[in-house]
């Protein structure tokens, strides 16, 4: 059986490589023709475009490797990634020269640095640690980053006085490096869970819950009466958001888009609810066991104060012995998996509609007379949510359809566990230095090294979570799943610090 497979592989292997190569060549040719017309070959937009093409080729090959396990893809995939990285380096250098400062001043420039770091780390992880399949996860993320950059493109902004400091550049560089390492540790922890035979249904529950959270968040905050969707107005001439008064942004309503989002929310909710129905018996069982669990909590409290030993048989364990867990119902899982596929199509549609309708057209507002334009720049949060949702669903489908191959390709659980720890061994000192550099900069600028502003506080929380990971692993010997959960929790906090704090919580870090 294995031999048959081995014989088949070169065939399919060549097809994909040739296809991707042709695609890259075609796109480069088209781009080149455009450039010849424009006359300027090596500007930032072209370099970025080239990076995008190569990253896309690399991602396609990595995905091909992830799905079929054909070894020969990896060589070409990393070649494409190398080319993309070179182009990306060119774009970074160009930006640097043009702006006169390292590219860390705006969301756009930070994405540029982030994408660069991510591609570099992917190559390191692949060459040094032999985690070849990592590109399957990181390269699509890099593509999303480059695409977001195309949408968020802004010209070079001069730096306000507070931002003109070497320490700022040190701070942001360290932050990007640390966050990229955190992203890598997250991907590795996920792979660990896959390799550790965590049930596909659990991934189903988690992924569909995350997408549901994204859509529910959008609908909850932006749905307007009669099916509109509220977005912030954009003044194309001033290149800024429209303000009603100081600090109050003007929202315009895109008609009907709200209905689409609501519909998407409903469909995205289907996989989770089918999953819950399939678990109905188990939920009832769990609810019944709650009294036993309360006594467990009581025991845990006693244990914290050192009053009782933990290894006594808990009430829950006793309860479980008498009432074994019921079997789950397979047919509902089947429904859930199909629903994920359908929801993916609808999500793509929602994204497409969102892109089309925000880029063109003028819309009315409830708060002001007249029609206003909007722009993707004003809704980076919604945009990353929509793209992220699609990405999460895609990853789940990849896992669902190709789990066996993935398990064959991934390193052993022990290896993954150790590499995760090593990645965090890189991320944690970087996080520490990042916070220190930020504090030093703040001290130079505002005369105080720590002012408990939300971004600072959340950076400290991130640090604390990774400190927990290190302690749990080193001194308590937590390996495997518990450690992987902590690594995942750490990255969730990183994402919140990076995106959530900027958009949800107010503070000094308004520049980023």
CB of 53 to other proteins, least distance (A): 34
Classify 458 as helix, strand or coil: helix
* Identity of the residue, 165 or 329, whose beta carbon is nearer to other proteins in the bound complex: 165
CB of 155 to other proteins, least distance (A): 10
Distance CA 442, CA 440 (A): 5
Sign of the C-alpha dihedral computed for residues 322, 485, 492 and 450 taken in this order? positive
User: In Å, how far are 148, 259, 346, 376, 472 from 380, measured between CA atoms?
Assistant: 8, 20, 20, 6, 36
Nearest partner of 500 among 508, 489, 492, judged by Cα = 492
CB of 445 to other proteins, least distance (A): 5
Distance CA 107, CA 153 (A): 10
CB of 464 to other proteins, least distance (A): 5
* Identity of the residue, 285 or 496, whose beta carbon is nearer to other proteins in the bound complex: 496
Distance CA 256, CA 421 (A): 48
Distance CA 174, CA 192 (A): 27
Nearest partner of 392 among 217, 140, 111, 126, judged by Cα = 140
Please provide the DSSP assignment of 215-239 as one string: HHHHHHHHEEGGGEEEEEBEETTTT
* Identity of the residue, 241 or 256, whose beta carbon is nearer to other proteins in the bound complex: 241
* Identity of the residue, 282 or 479, whose beta carbon is nearer to other proteins in the bound complex: 479
Residues with Cβ within 8 Å of 285's Cβ and at least 6 positions away in sequence, in order, are 323, 325, 326
The residues that bridge with 230 in the sheet, in sequence order, are: 253
CB of 432 to other proteins, least distance (A): 6
CB of 248 to other proteins, least distance (A): 12
| Secondary structure letter of residue 369 according to DSSP | S
Nearest partner of 184 among 416, 500, 461, judged by Cα = 416
CB of 294 to other proteins, least distance (A): 19
CB of 161 to other proteins, least distance (A): 4
CB of 92 to other proteins, least distance (A): 23
* Identity of the residue, 90 or 411, whose beta carbon is nearer to other proteins in the bound complex: 411
* Identity of the residue, 259 or 440, whose beta carbon is nearer to other proteins in the bound complex: 440
* Identity of the residue, 337 or 413, whose beta carbon is nearer to other proteins in the bound complex: 413
Distance CA 441, CA 458 (A): 17
CB of 444 to other proteins, least distance (A): 5
Residues with Cβ within 8 Å of 70's Cβ and at least 6 positions away in sequence, in order, are 9, 10, 12, 13, 16, 64
- The residue behind tokens 């070497």 is 166
Tokens matching residue 128: 């040094």
- Binding residues for other proteins, rule: CB under 8 A, are 158-162, 164-165, 304-306, 418, 425-426, 428-429, 432-433, 436, 439-441, 443-450, 452-454, 457-458, 460-461, 464-465, 467-468, 471-472, 475-476, 501, 505
* Identity of the residue, 106 or 445, whose beta carbon is nearer to other proteins in the bound complex: 445
Question: Does residue 417 contact residue 484 with C-beta atoms inside 8 Å?
Answer: yes
* Identity of the residue, 128 or 359, whose beta carbon is nearer to other proteins in the bound complex: 128
* Identity of the residue, 300 or 334, whose beta carbon is nearer to other proteins in the bound complex: 300
Phi, psi dihedrals of residue 246, rounded to the nearest 5°: -55, 115
């Amino acid at each position: 059986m294995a031999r048959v497979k081995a014989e088949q592989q070169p065939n399919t292997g060549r097809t994909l490589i040739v296809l991707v190569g042709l695609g890259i060549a075609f796109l480069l040719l088209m781009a080149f023709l455009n450039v010849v017309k424009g006359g300027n070959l090596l500007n930032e937009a072209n370099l970025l475009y080239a990076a995008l093409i190569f990253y896309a080729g690399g991602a396609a090959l990595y995905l091909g490797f992830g799905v079929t396990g054909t070894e020969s893809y990896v060589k070409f995939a990393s070649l494409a990634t190398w080319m993309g990285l070179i182009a990306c380096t060119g774009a970074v250098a160009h930006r640097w020269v043009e702006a006169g400062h390292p590219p860390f001043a705006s969301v756009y420039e930070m994405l540029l640095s982030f994408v660069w770091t991510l591609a570099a780390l992917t190559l390191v992880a692949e060459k040094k640690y032999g985690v070849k399949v990592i590109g399957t996860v990181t390269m699509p993320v890099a593509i999303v980053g480059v695409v977001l950059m195309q949408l968020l493109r802004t010209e070079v902004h001069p730096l306000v006085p507070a931002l003109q400091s070497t320490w700022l550049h040190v701070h942001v560089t360290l932050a990007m490096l640390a966050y990229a390492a955190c992203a890598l540790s997250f991907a590795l922890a996920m792979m660990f869970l896959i390799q550790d035979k965590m049930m596909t249904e659990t991934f189903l529950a988690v992924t569909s819950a995350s997408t549901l959270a994204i859509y529910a968040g959008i609908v909850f905050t932006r749905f307007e009466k009669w099916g509109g969707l509220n977005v912030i107005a954009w003044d194309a001439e001033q290149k800024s958001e429209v303000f009603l008064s100081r600090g109050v942004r003007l929202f315009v309503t895109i008609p009907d888009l709200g209905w689409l989002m609501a519909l998407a929310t409903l469909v995205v909710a289907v996989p989770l609810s089918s999953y819950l129905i399939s678990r109905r018996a188990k939920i009832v069982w769990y609810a019944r066991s709650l009294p036993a669990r309360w006594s467990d909590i009581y025991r845990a409290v006693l244990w914290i104060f050192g009053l009782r030993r933990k290894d006594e048989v808990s009430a829950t364990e006793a309860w479980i012995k008498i009432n074994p867990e019921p079997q789950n119902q397979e047919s509902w899982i089947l429904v859930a998996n199909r629903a994920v596929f359908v929801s993916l199509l609808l999500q793509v549609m929602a994204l497409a509609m969102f892109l089309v309708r925000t880029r063109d057209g003028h819309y009315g507002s409830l708060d002001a007379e007249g029609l206003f334009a909007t722009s993707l720049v004003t809704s980076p949060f919604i945009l990353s949510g929509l793209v992220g949702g699609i990405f999460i669903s895609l990853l789940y489908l990849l896992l669902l359809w190709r789990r066996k191959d993935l398990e064959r390709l991934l390193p052993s659980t022990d290896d993954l566990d150790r590499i995760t720890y090593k990645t965090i061994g890189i991320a944690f000192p970087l996080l520490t230095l990042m916070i220190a550099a930020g504090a030093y900069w703040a001290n130079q600028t505002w005369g105080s090294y720590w002012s408990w502003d939300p971004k600072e506080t959340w950076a400290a929380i991130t640090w604390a979570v990774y400190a927990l990971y290190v302690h749990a692993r080193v001194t308590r010997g937590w390996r495997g799943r518990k450690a992987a959960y902590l690594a995942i929790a750490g990255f969730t906090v990183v994402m919140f610090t990076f995106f959530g704090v900027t958009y949800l919580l107010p503070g000094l870090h308004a520049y980023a």
